[in-house]
Amino acid sequence: MKKNVIEVTNLEKYYEVSGGFFSRKKDIVKAVDDISFEIPFGESLGLVGQSGCGKTTTARALCLLDPKTGGDVKFYNNETQDMENIDNLEDEELKKFRRNIQMIFQDPYESLNPRWTIKDIILEPLNIHNIGDLQDREEAVVEILKTVGLTPASNYLPRYPHELSGGQRQRVSIARTLIMKPKFVVCDEPTSMLDVSIRISIMDLMLNLAKDLEVSYLYITHDLAVARYMCNRIAVMFNGKIVEIAETEELLNNPIHPYTKRLISSIPVPDPSYDRKVYDVNYDELDAIIAKHGTDNPMVDMGNEHYIATHDVKGLI
């Protein structure tokens, strides 16, 4: 059986927003609404869906950047060799968790302090977590720059983020993330601002690191070709919920949920090896699943570990 690095059950993130200019009533935005998934060690799960469906909110809740409003997140604890609920973590344990879960953002420029040199930017997480002495830390910085292909390191260490290209900056943020040797990295559209040639080299870099260091990714993208390249499985998100989740080729070749069909049909895929199909979007298959299984069980296993959500989406899509 595969060992999971993270297990997410019924995760919720609701926001309270003002109900309008003249209204005192608060409205609830269900940005993430009862989603569940798990990711085994060394594997990647793609999270795809249209703008505003809740991808970044999911990422931020997992990394504890914003507190979740419901559900459970369990993370593999190396010492107890068991899954640990992050709600139970305190002090040192919580610090260790933060070290093991890292995030790479879409815009490398925003995530790097413009007034710091590359050396200080990459050193910072080691300083915060008090890892090694100064010499160890400096050696680790040189080593990680080599790993992400920024060589010779002496060329980059004294420079500032604005003196680098977009691709080089994204490598710096990957270096800063990986220097902590995380087990799990949440990537929020990490290559969408880069041009195609650099995009492939960054994706290859991340795939190699996954193999060499057994890093797992939750990889957020709206580009199905990127998800296909990077991920073992794909989860399709719509309106705060996961509507379909399956192994990558299975999902792309045999989509069942009407929203997934629409997504695959509407997004151009610049990948000649992938013969994209255009699907008729109808509700027949989903209606049949709901008729057979009811809506009590939110996700139904269609075989091959291919899961479909059974909540009613008519009128929403």
Ligand X SMILES: Nc1ncnc2c1ncn2[C@@H]1O[C@H](COP(=O)(O)OP(=O)(O)OP(=O)(O)O)[C@@H](O)[C@H]1O
Q: What mask, x for binding ligand X by CB under 6 A, covers residues 198 to 237?
A: ------------------------x---------------
Nearest-CB residue to Mg ion?
A: 56
Is residue 57 close enough to count as binding ligand X by CB under 6 A?
A: yes
C-beta of 54: minimal distance to Mg ion in Å? 9
CA distance 59 to 84: 19
Is residue 5 close enough to count as binding ligand X by CB under 6 A?
A: no
Q: Which amino acid is at 138?
A: E
Q: What mask, x for binding ligand X by CB under 6 A, covers residues 98 to 137?
A: ----------------------------------------
> Does residue 45 contact residue 217 with C-beta atoms inside 8 Å?
yes
26-55 residues in contact with ligand X (CB under 6 A) are 29, 31, 51-55
Is residue 14 close enough to count as binding ligand X by CB under 6 A?
A: no
CA nearest to 72, candidates 55, 82, 60, 84: 84
Q: What does the DSSP assignment read for 249-304?
A: HHHHHS--SHHHHHHHHHS----TTS--------SHHHHHHHHHH-SSSSEEE-ST
Strand ordering across the sheet containing 184-188: 101-104, 184-188, 216-220, 44-48, 233-238, 241-247, 307-309, 299-301
Residue with the two structure tokens 């959500």 = 309
Size of the site for Mg ion (CB under 5 A): 1
Interface pick for Mg ion out of 44, 56, 170, 310 (rule CB under 5 A): 56
CA distance 252 to 234: 9
CA distance 78 to 194: 35
Choose the contact partner of 114 out of Mg ion, ligand X, none; CB within 5 to 8 A by kind. Answer: none
Choose the contact partner of 14 out of ligand X, Mg ion, none; CB within 5 to 8 A by kind. Answer: none
Q: Which is nearer to Mg ion, 56 or 239 (CB)?
A: 56
C-beta of 41: minimal distance to Mg ion in Å? 26
Q: Which is nearer to ligand X, 53 or 112 (CB)?
A: 53
169-208 residues in contact with Mg ion (CB under 5 A) are none
CA distance 191 to 166: 10
CA 192 to chain centre: 13
C-beta of 56: minimal distance to ligand X in Å? 3
Question: Which residues make up the interface to Mg ion (CB under 5 A)?
Answer: 56
Question: Which residues make up the interface to ligand X (CB under 6 A)?
Answer: 15, 17, 29, 31, 51-57, 222
